[in-house]
Amino acid sequence: MSARTYSPPYKRALGYTGLIVLAVLFIFPFVFSVVNSFKTTAQATNDAISLVPNPVSLAAWKQIFGVGPAAATTDFPRWLFNSVFVSVFITVGRIFLDSLAGYALARLRFPGRKMIFGFIIATLAVPSVVLLIPIFLVLKQFGIFNSYEGMILPMLADVTGIFLMRQFFLQVPDALEEAGRVDGANIWQIYWKLVLPVVRPGLIALTILSFQASWNQFQFFEVATISPKYFTLVTGLANIVGGGLSAGNQFPLKLGASVLTVLPMVILFVVLQKYFMRGATAGSVKG
């Protein structure tokens, strides 16, 4: 082993110790939420630090999944459906539209292409909070305020996804498209059958980012909806924590709902993390 790559054992031990400490600090809030969701309200209020529920109570989870008389105070099954429904539609829309826009900006030659891309990137400098009132007015004007259409349509494309897909399409060899043209393929067939499969890591990365963004979206959904029946898990949980739905000090309910909100993202990232890391790295190679 060369002197440059050798690391003394104590340095490696310190490094691993630091990583373990950071991992514990990162995971502890999630463990804390899970444990306290299985406590009674009184125990969670008086002894929140204990990591052993005594007794173990399923009251919060029964209320979350609509079991028992207390379920009438909230509508978590409906909010879970809304989160899944809206996130899936937004993710599918972004995969299709962002990849189309990214392909056009990366591979097609047309006047004003660079200027259009510059304008798209410039929108990243606009704080999202500035757009909330205009978005509300547009939704009211088109008659889609407080509806699934109003929650989905304005979010079907985003600048980050367009930029990401453009970076991936820039890495596709020109020879692949030339071969498609020689074989008589039109531009749609080249995009759909030849180029799109090559950038699959980028599509997977875009899928994760889009689903995460739509699942965790709060500001836009707060502006686009007003009725509890259109709440997602995030907006519903925010109303519960804020006392808007008379949840009181039901800490097990609130923490259980937060676990339910975070869990799909954890599962999605664990399952697809190798594709996401590969895609995020590959997309940053060429500008």
In this structure, the answer to whether residues 35 and 90 fall within a common structural domain is no
Using CA atoms, how far apart are residues 242 and 227, in angstroms rounded to an integer? 16
Cβ contact 286:171 at 8 Å: yes
Q: How far apart are the first and last CA of the chain?
A: 37
Whole-prediction pTM: 0.83
Using CA atoms, how far apart are residues 225 and 232, in angstroms rounded to an integer? 10
41 or 81: which leads in pLDDT: 81
Please report, for the domain that includes residue 254, its CATH number: 1.10.3720.10
In this structure, the answer to whether residues 43 and 127 fall within a common structural domain is no
What amino acid occupies position 200? Answer: R
Backbone phi and psi for residue 217, each to the nearest 5 degrees, phi listed first = -65, 135
pLDDT at 285 over 50: no
Mean pLDDT of 244-270: 79
In this structure, the answer to whether residues 236 and 107 fall within a common structural domain is yes
Residue 134 lies inside a defined structural domain of this protein = yes
Residue 37 lies inside a defined structural domain of this protein = yes
Using CA atoms, how far apart are residues 39 and 55, in angstroms rounded to an integer? 7
Residue 188 lies inside a defined structural domain of this protein = yes
pLDDT at 247 over 70: no
Residue 1 lies inside a defined structural domain of this protein = no
Of 121, 217, 198, nearest in space to 160 by CA: 121
Residue 2 lies inside a defined structural domain of this protein = no
Q: What domain range is 182 assigned to?
A: 72-282
Percent of the chain with pLDDT over 90: 50
Residue 4 lies inside a defined structural domain of this protein = no
Instruction: Please tell me the predicted confidence (pLDDT) of residue 287.
Output: 46
Structural domains of the chain, count: 2
pLDDT bucket at 216, cuts 50 / 70 / 90: very high
In this structure, the answer to whether residues 27 and 58 fall within a common structural domain is yes
In this structure, the answer to whether residues 62 and 115 fall within a common structural domain is no
The last residue of one of the domains, among 67, 87, 105, is: 67
Using CA atoms, how far apart are residues 127 and 188, in angstroms rounded to an integer? 35
Residue 287 lies inside a defined structural domain of this protein = no
Using CA atoms, how far apart are residues 168 and 107, in angstroms rounded to an integer? 11
Cβ contact 194:202 at 8 Å: no
In this structure, the answer to whether residues 18 and 48 fall within a common structural domain is yes
pLDDT bucket at 75, cuts 50 / 70 / 90: confident
In this structure, the answer to whether residues 38 and 89 fall within a common structural domain is no
Q: Give 91-149 pLDDT, tens digit per residue.
A: 999 999 999 999 999 999 899 999 999 999 999 888 888 888 999 999 999 999 999 99
Residues 6+ apart with CB under 8 A from 120: 105, 159, 162, 163
The last residue of one of the domains, among 67, 86, 116, is: 67
CB neighbours of residue 191 within 10 Å: 20
The last residue of one of the domains, among 67, 87, 111, is: 67
In this structure, the answer to whether residues 226 and 274 fall within a common structural domain is yes
Cβ contact 279:162 at 8 Å: no
What amino acid occupies position 211? Answer: F
pLDDT at 36 over 60: yes
In this structure, the answer to whether residues 164 and 48 fall within a common structural domain is no
CA-to-CA dists, residue 15 to 2, 6, 55, angstroms: 20, 14, 39
In this structure, the answer to whether residues 213 and 119 fall within a common structural domain is yes
Mean pLDDT of 83-89: 96
Percent of the chain with pLDDT over 70: 88
Residue 23 lies inside a defined structural domain of this protein = yes
In this structure, the answer to whether residues 48 and 119 fall within a common structural domain is no
In this structure, the answer to whether residues 139 and 34 fall within a common structural domain is no
Question: Cα 104 vs. chain centroid, distance in angstroms?
Answer: 25
Residues 6+ apart with CB under 8 A from 139: 145, 150, 154, 223, 224
Q: Spell out the SS3 assignment of 206-257.
A: HHHHHHHHHHCCCHHHHHHCCCHHHCCHHHHHHHHHCCCCCCCCCHHHHHHH
The vertex-253 CA angle with 252 and 257, nearest 5°, equals 115
Tokens representing 58 are: 């399923």
* Number of separate helices (H) and strands (E) present in the chain: 15, 0
